[in-house]
Amino acid sequence: MTNEATKGEVLVRIEGVEKMFHRGSEDIHVLANLDLQVAAGEFLALMGPSGSGKSTLLNLIGGLDRPTRGTVRIGGERIDELTDRRLADWRARHIGFVFQLYNLMPVLTAERNVELPLLLTHLNKAERRKHVATALAMVGLTHRANHFPRTLSGGEQQRVGIARAIVTDPTLLLCDEPTGDLDRKAGDEILNLLQALNREHGKTIIMVTHDPHASARASRTVHLNKGQLTNEPVS
C-alpha cells in the first residue's frame, strides 16, 4: 500500500463490522453489521447523536481499535488482521489524526509539535525540518513556527494540529470534531483549510461532526444511529 491512490477508487472498505464493549456482565453493542465505502479523494462527513458510535468507527478506520466482527480494509489491506506492531507502523505511515482539543505538547513550539510524527520515520534532521516548513506553510503558520501553544489562539492551535496530521503525507486524514472547540469564525477557517487540502491536494478526509454547518463542507454526509449508517438525518 502506498500513499498514492487513484481518485474515485474505493480506499476504505468496511464490511459487516460490529463493535461490542463489555461493562461488567453487560455487553454494549456500539456498531452493528455496518458497511461503508469511502473513495480516494472524497471528503466524507460522519454525523450522529452523542453515543451513536461515530468516534468508535473513526478509531476502527484509523487502526486505533479493532472490530469485534467484520473486516476493515484500507487500500486493499486488512488492517484488522495486522499485529499490534505492524498496525502501529501502518498507522504512522498512512493516518493523520486531527482532534477536537488539538492534543499539542505545551512544552514544544509549533514546529516541534508538527515534527513529532516524523521522529518515527527514517528522515534526517534536515529532511524533517523541510517537511515541517512545508506543512506549516500549507496551514498558513510559517510566522508562528517558534511559538508555544499557550501563545496561539484556538484556531492557530488547530492549524498546528492539522499541520502535524499532514506532515507525513498520510493516505487518510481523520478529523474528530475539528471545529467543536472553536467559534464560528475560527471554525470556518479550519473548514476552508480542510476543503483546500481535499480539493487542491487530493487528501481523503473523514470528519466526525455534529454540526450541519461543518458537514455542508463535505462532498458526502452519512448519518450514524444505533450502530447503523443511513443517508438521512437522525431526528
Nearest to 195 by CA among 171, 178, 211, 170: 178
Neighbours of 95 (CB within 10 A): 21
Confidence of residue 121 (pLDDT cuts 50, 70, 90): confident
pLDDT at 5 over 80: no
Residues 6 or more apart whose CB falls under 8 angstroms from that of 85 comprise none
Which of these CATH numbers, 3.40.50.300, 3.40.1400.10, 3.40.50.2000, 1.10.3720.10, describes 42-66+94-230? 3.40.50.300
pLDDT at 52 over 60: yes
Q: State the pTM of this model.
A: 0.92
Q: How far apart are CA 189 and CA 226, in angstroms?
A: 32
> Which pLDDT score, from 0 to 100, does residue 235 have?
55
Mean of pLDDT values over 87-96:
93
Q: Using alpha carbons only, how large is the chain's radius of gyration in Å?
A: 18
Tens of pLDDT, residue by residue over 127-147, are 999 999 999 999 999 999 999
